[in-house]
Chains A and B, each alone.
Chain A
Amino acid sequence: MADLSQSGIAPGRHGAAPEKAAIEVANLSHVYAGAQGEVPALEDISMSVGAGHFVVIVGPSGCGKTSLLMMLAGLRAQSAGTILCHGSPIPNPDPRRVGVIFQEASLYPWLTALDNIEFPLSLRGAPRAERRQRAEAMLRLVGLEGFGGRYPHELSGGMKQRVSIARGLVQDPPVLLMDEPFAALDEQTRMTMGHELLRIWSVTAKTVVFITHSLTEAVYLADEVLVMSARPGRIIDRIAVPLPRPRTYEMMATDAFGQLRERIWHQIRKAD
């Protein structure tokens, strides 16, 4: 995956033959114990994400999007239903199968950027030379060459998220889960980071599940947008985004873009 060729085109896009699913969720429900008894959080979620696809989940606050993502990552157990990642369940977090990128960059402030990226490798005792080599390749991939020695507090918000993405990618997992990774960034940085993410995605061919509140971001990034209802969260619409790739900023001004955005907005208003 260290193939950084700029022209690299990811396999398994639109128009390709039907490929096998990277993530399959069947009849997933979740109930948690609240102060007033059991609270249904997620209800009968079924979804399938094709390998190499970029799927964005949108929905009102508190609809359980993050919970769903945590379950896909093996960080939380669901009450009912199954999750298959490349055909097998994921009962525990496994950074070699699924990388997770959080809203706050959640980098460790006592480690440099490079050490942060190496962290998952050092957890499983990878040799030092290998760690450094891979971390540096990731740093190049996210466009931060030369910043490896900086501590997180010496980096801007966008740079921190780049490091965070590099950390999620360092074990080369086929699946990347992103929980509103750009929510804390200003609008301008956010747009640029979205564009950057698509570039990284196009050279690494990952399956991405991405949560956001921004409809523009959703349409700009996604192959498919899943709209969730308010609690208990259900998937109420799936909207394919047939815009060509690579996406450009100019596309945002087109009618097709506006209509897709409008349709998602309409669904969310109904859902809230």
Chain B
Amino acid sequence: MKAFALPAPAKVRWGMLIALLLLWELLPRTGLIPELLLPSLSSTLKVLVQDSRIYWAALLVTLYEVALAMVIACGGGIIAGAVVGGVARLRELLLPVFSSLYAVPIVILYPVFTAWFGIGSESKIAFAGIYAFFPVMLSTAAGIRTIDPQFILAARSMGATLTQQVTRVIIPASLPAVFAGLRLGGALAIIGVVVSEMLTAAAGIGYLVTLNRTILDSPRVFAALLMILILSVAYYMLARAIERRVVVWQSVGRAPKAAQAVGGAGVPVSVAV
């Protein structure tokens, strides 16, 4: 019996992306969707090239704010997560508080941030930094809390000091969870900066979205959206690539067939007595 071979998932994903881009071009062109609601891909790209200086300048502002927000979120999140996850008393006391704070839509605090820090970059950095802090902190705490106790017992049996238990076991063992938190936190930092730029700002990509929306200049709105999209995807791919590099042992799913085939007992044919 011959079954239809499904194409590889990567191919399907690329196919979907190309189809989407084609639809983006064709739907407005054929008039199925008015250009005001969805400007075609080509007119969006044309604006992006025409106004490239404006868009680059806006991107730089946004990148600067995202970078600083990430530093706050990642640095603070890892330190706070390590302390809260590592100390049982603090964990019982604080973890429920942080978990419920994470559920609060922190964007409601943004007006307060503008009052404190003004409408410049500082308020965006502060807001996005706090917004992204939670997933990093919670993920780090969870990563430390869920370390296999056997890892630490084994280290102690091998004579590891407390410092060595931290540096040689606890830190590497919690890296996968920390990286998962950083990936999510970074994405939230981008969202936080763009959203706050859209609310109140005089610079940045989010500002360009709001500015052009109010004057109904759809291609320029979509050009800004496209840049945000590319920024997010680029960040995600970069984060995954770094993660795969650092967390080697998690990137491969299961044992390769070779190891299974040799088996536990089959290997030492030459040494078995």
Contacts and interface: CB of A to CB of B under 8 A. Distances in A.
Given A102-B150, A156-B259, A144 B267 contact: yes
Nearest to B165: A123
A269 interface: no
Interface residues of B, number: 38
* Interface range on chain A (Cβ under 8 Å from partner): 35 or more
A123 B172 contact: no
B164 A102 contact: no
Contacts of B264: 156-159, 161-162, 185, 189, 192-193
B249 A109 contact: yes
Interface in A153-178: 153-159, 161-162, 167
A132 interface: no
Interface stretch (B37-45, B64-72, B154-162): B154-162
A123 B256 CA distance: 30
Contacts of B159: 93-96, 120, 123-124
Nearest to A185: B264
A54 interface: no
B252 interface: yes
Nearest to A170: B158
30 contacts: A6-B271, A75-B153, A94-B159, A95-B158, A96-B159, A99-B157, A100-B154, A102-B153, A102-B154, A104-B150, A106-B150, A106-B154, A110-B249, A119-B168, A120-B159, A123-B159, A123-B160, A123-B164, A144-B268, A150-B259, A151-B248, A155-B255, A155-B259, A156-B259, A156-B260, A159-B267, A162-B264, A192-B264, A196-B268, A246-B273
Given A75-B156, A143-B268, A196-B268, A110 B172 contact: yes
A150 to B, nearest CB: 7
B9 interface: no
Nearest to B263: A156
Interface in B216-273: 247-250, 252, 254-256, 259-260, 262-265, 267-268, 270-273
B167 to A, nearest CB: 11
Interface of A: 6, 73, 75, 93-96, 99-100, 102, 104, 106, 108-110, 119-120, 123-124, 140, 142-144, 147, 150-159, 161-162, 167, 185, 188-189, 192-193, 195-196, 199, 246
A101 to B, nearest CB: 9
A218 to B, nearest CB: 20
A4 to B, nearest CB: 8
Interface of B: 148, 150-151, 153-161, 164, 168-169, 172-173, 175, 247-250, 252, 254-256, 259-260, 262-265, 267-268, 270-273
B157 A93 contact: yes
Contacts of B267: 143-144, 147, 159, 162
A73 B155 CA distance: 12
- Residue among B154, B161, B248, B263 with the most chain A CB within 10 A? B154
A152 B255 CA distance: 9
Nearest to A97: B159
CB-based closest 7 A-B pairs:
A158-B264, A143-B268, A192-B265, A120-B158, A100-B157, A189-B264, A106-B150
A154 B255 CA distance: 4
Contacts of A151: 248-249, 252
Contacts of A152: 249
Contacts of A109: 249-250
Contacts of A110: 172-173, 175, 247-249
A192 B268 CA distance: 11
A196 B264 CA distance: 11
Nearest to A144: B267
Contact of B255 (A6, A108, A153): A153
Contacts of A99: 157
A207 B271 CA distance: 22
Given A102-B153, A106-B154, A159-B262, 11 more contacts: A6-B271, A6-B273, A102-B154, A104-B150, A110-B248, A119-B158, A158-B265, A159-B267, A162-B267, A189-B263, A196-B272
B268 A106 contact: no
Contact of A106 (B148, B160, B256): B148
A195 B272 CA distance: 9
Nearest to B149: A106
A142 B247 CA distance: 28
B68 to A, nearest CB: 31
Contacts of A94: 159
A10 to B, nearest CB: 13
Contacts of B249: 109-110, 151-153
